[in-house]
Structure 1
Amino acid sequence: MIKAVYTEKAPQAIGPYSQAIKAGDFLFLSGQIPVNPETNEVVENDIVVQTRQVMRNIQAILEKEGLTFENIVKTTIFVKDLSMFATVNEEYGKFLGDHRPARSTVEISRLPKDVLIEIEAIAYTGNR
């Protein structure tokens, strides 16, 4: 079974895609950018503030499905400047605690709405 997942606690899609798709025992989260869902605006142009907002957006989507960061098995982080990696790593880690999913990090020249970071994730929904 495949179903689209939507929550008002995360930004609305800005194109023809879903916030997440549940397929079998997995939840595939679309890349989340640092948009505050209450204002529908990009947050401050600061990598710490933007990383925190992205992680809160991911958390909202996970919670919609009764999941936590512990369910994440893989993330991909896209950053505009890899020199920000240590800061991103620190903020990302605060949300994950001791959980360590597989991850890739890629520097990219431009992201939607000219943000500094985007993160996509895959979560395992089985064994709940």
Structure 2
Amino acid sequence: MSTVQTINSPDNAAFPHILSHATKVQAGNIIFLSGQIPADKNGQIVPGGIQEHTKQCLANLENVLKAAGSSWQQVAKVNIFLKDMADFAAMNEVYEKALPTPKPARTCIQVAKLPFDVDIEIEAVAVV
């Protein structure tokens, strides 16, 4: 039987009580990271456009990975949700530079609306 451990990074804004930054499955040491929006530690959306917002989402995910004892090198899957697929190239430019090679498997889809009307949300699955 596996156990699930809740992980929250003190370097990110606190989520409402309905979800955690990540959960870690002890049986397989799999970490499921909740979607991160471009909010700073105080929960404020960072200024700028899609590139600044992508950087903040990735930084927030990195904070959670560190809190879980993992890193980008151990990320197996990334899901990116864009408000507008016209932002794909600009987002991808930041993503390409930020993540180590080889890159994890990835899905990127356009969605109608995201929390706080942000333009991007990114989630991931990793191992420790």
TM-score (norm 1): 0.92
Point out where structure 1 has 5 or more consecutive residues left out of the alignment. Answer: none
**Equivalent residue in structure 2 for 1:23, among 25, 37, 50:** 25
1:122 aligns with 125
Tell me, yes or no, if the aligned pair for 1:69 and 1:95 is still in contact at 8 Å: no
Query: Which of 11-20 and 47-56 deviates more?
Result: 11-20
The counterpart of 1:102, out of the listed 82, 101, 105, is 105
Deviations 1:20-48 (A, max 9, x none): 000131000000000001x3201114101
Distance 2:62 2:33 in 1: 10
In structure 2, list runs of 5 or more residues that go unmatched: none
Structure 1 outlier segments of 4+, above 2 Å: none
Aligned-partner SS, 2:103:
coil
* Number of residue-to-residue matches in the alignment: 124
Counterpart residue number, 2:93: 90
TM-score normalised per structure 2: 0.92
| Secondary structure of the corresponding residue to residue 35 of structure 1 | coil
* 3-state SS of 1:41 partner: coil
Task: Give the root-mean-square deviation of aligned CA atoms.
Answer: 1.1
1:34 equivalent in structure 2: 38
Deviations along 1:62-88, one digit per CA (max 9) or x if unpaired, are 011221101100010000000110111
* Preserved CA contact (<8 Å) 1:111 1:118: yes
Instruction: Please identify, of 19-28 and 89-98, the stretch whose mean Cα deviation from structure 2 is larger.
Output: 89-98
Which one-letter code corresponds to 1:10 in the other structure?
Answer: N
